[in-house]
Chains A and B, each alone.
Chain A
Amino acid sequence: MSAVDRAPARPSRWPSGRLLRSELRLIFGRRRNQAGLAVLAAIPLVIAVSVRLGDPASGQGPEFFASITDNGFFVALAALTISLPLFLPLAVATIAGDAIAGEANVGSLRYLLVAPVHRARLLLVKYAAVAIFALAATGLVALVGLVSGLALFGGGPVTLLSGLAVSLPEGLLRLLGVCLYLWAGLCALGAVGLFISTLTEQPIGATIATVIVTVASFVLGSIPQLDWLHPYLLTQWWMSFSDLLRAPVYLPDLRTGLLTAAAYVVIFWSAAWARFAGRDITS
């Protein structure tokens, strides 16, 4: 290797995705994150096994629980409902909080930037990885719930919330819709986490702050006197995913939920860029 090989250092014109692949290897190869995904996968298993072993007459339980013994399909929905207030946001906040603060913390941020990675490209790749992780986490909960549910309770036509029964394939399509809708909400949370991650060199701090935003949003959403604030809250429309299980699908809240998520993504992505673009990297 000669130091004076003056071959022009012309960057390839198209994004090759190599940095994103490296990012995904970093996320999914890290044991802490694998343990987090294992915990998420355990949630539907615990639900399925405990319902199977439990006394059928022991009451209703959370939403969708009552339907599980009739159709294993509902394990997936019950697991998503239970994971939504804390486990899924925590998983996404962990990855998003790590995005910039984690690199700054170990000192690799300066080496990435002089490699060089343009700051916009780094932010974009980091956010794409957070979004992919959020999709994987949501999909994992649904898939493990579906497989364990069908194995323990069998399948069949799915009775919707409005009482109408649809075929299992259509039920699966609606479950996919639920996952994508929840994914949009988690992407909004990921943008908040990405922004917070540009403010600090402590990834744990960024993660905790992001979780606090989620919890605070749920708490504010439960105070009726603050109903003027509710439409703007990050988490307000997340539970509307059950509208996908009506016939016909009840669209207004879903549409508002998606628009809210999009607004959060745009606002916090812009804030992250404003903060990160001109920041002095002294880590």
Chain B
Amino acid sequence: MISRPDRAGGFDQAGAGDLAVASTGLTKRFGRGARATLAVDAIDLAVPRGAVYGFLGPNGSGKTTTIRMLLGLVRPTAGAHHLLGAPMPERAGEVLPRVGALVEGPGFHPYLSGRDNLRRLAAADRTVDPRRAGAQVASALARVGLSAAAGKRYRAYSLGMRQRLALAATLLRPRELLVLDEPTNGLDPQGTREVRALITALARDGATVLLSTHLLAEVAQICTHVGVMHQGRLVAQSSLAELRGAARRRARVVTDRPADAARVLRGLGLSEVAAGGQGAHGVLNGVAPEQVVAALVHSGVPVREFTVSEPDLEDLFVALTGEGFDVSG
């Protein structure tokens, strides 16, 4: 079932070592007194190692503030968190080189070339071997398709190229965890496909990916786990398989003997069975569709059409968050 994270802290039970990202009661309040706003409200994130975790939520739901806290840019008001098993921010110097991050869009020096911007970041990371820095920069640029534009000044880059450069920065050295905030922002459909393929490839190589997005399609395509943010709270967190399993798949049969069909469906254990003029339908409750068809045929019910409605993620998320995903909060 979809777990509603409990305050007691999910990651203690799972063991922080198995989790690439784990937080307990992570909270951020901006401002003081009456004008204080609660941006992130006691969230317990649990991102298993090797997962592609879709961090989903409408704009303004606290995703970016959470990511900034995870990376040590913003100091939490309360709570604690671990990255790759190490407490943050105490061990940031040791952990962050193993983490590639794209935070709230690209941010580079406009009058430096793409290559020089990456060289600067390579020089900043003391774990990068200076003798190999040039090769690593070139390989990161090649991986995002920016080799041809590497010598151009950043100010001349299009929005898509800037986004690619920010992605290249996350690939400057081998990473165990990638934190990507809206990585396909500003990309054209071709670029979006490439970036999703890149993320899938990185995950296949063993990296854990925390992917913040407001696009349901992105989660459905590439994620294995999902956490849903709404108004600063983590309202749901589970694997995508569990989420799909929890969704109520409905079977619908079109026949000229609706009453007989409904009886067969009930007999198989389907719930909410109803018969109409065209046929019958019911909630599968884990019964295999082929078993239903076989039972119908066996009982002599002529099946003209049989459909199973796949769970609609959007309906689920709307139910969880109480509003549509394009609504800015």
Contacts and interface: CB of A to CB of B under 8 A. Distances in A.
B205 A9 contact: no
Q: Which of B104, B140, B174 has its CB near the most chain A CB atoms (within 10 A)?
A: B174
B74 interface: yes
B93 interface: yes
A29 B96 CA distance: 29
Contact of A281 (B68, B143, B166): B68
Q: Which of A2, A25, A107, A116 has its CB near the most chain B CB atoms (within 10 A)?
A: A116
A112 B111 contact: no
Interface string A61-102: 000000000000000000000000000000000000000000
Given A26-B109, A112-B121, A7 B103 contact: no
A225 interface: no
Contacts of A1: 136, 139-140, 143, 171, 173-174
B130 A107 contact: no
A42 B103 CA distance: 43
Given A22-B119, A22-B123, A280-B75, A114 B108 contact: no
Given A10-B127, A31-B111, A107-B108, A114 B207 contact: no
Contacts of B106: 107
A114 B178 CA distance: 12
Contacts of A4: 174, 176, 205-207
B111 A30 contact: yes
Interface residues of A, number: 39
B286 interface: no
Nearest to B74: A280
Contact of B123 (A19, A29, A30, A108): A19
Interface residues of B, number: 52
B52 to A, nearest CB: 12
A7 B116 CA distance: 26
A282 B107 CA distance: 12
Contacts of B166: 111
A224 interface: no
Interface string A267-283: 00000000000101111
Contact of B109 (A6, A108, A114): A108
A12 interface: yes
A109 B107 contact: yes
Contacts of A11: 93-94, 97, 126-127
A6 B49 CA distance: 13
Contacts of B108: 106-108, 111
Interface in B200-219: 202, 205-207
Nearest to B201: A3
B126 A16 contact: yes
B259 interface: no
B73 A280 contact: yes
A113 B176 contact: no
Q: Which of B111, B119, B125 has its CB near the most chain A CB atoms (within 10 A)?
A: B125
Contact of A26 (B94, B112, B121, B175): B112
Contacts of B75: 278, 280
Contact of B68 (A7, A12, A111, A282): A282
B99 interface: yes
Interface of A: 1-7, 9-12, 16, 18-19, 21-22, 25-26, 29-31, 106-118, 278, 280-283
23 contacts: A1-B136, A1-B140, A1-B173, A1-B174, A3-B202, A4-B176, A9-B97, A10-B94, A11-B126, A16-B126, A18-B130, A22-B124, A31-B111, A107-B107, A110-B107, A111-B101, A111-B107, A111-B169, A112-B121, A115-B125, A116-B92, A116-B93, A117-B124
Given A114-B72, A280-B73, 11 more contacts: A1-B143, A2-B174, A3-B206, A3-B207, A9-B127, A10-B127, A12-B127, A116-B96, A278-B75, A280-B68, A282-B73
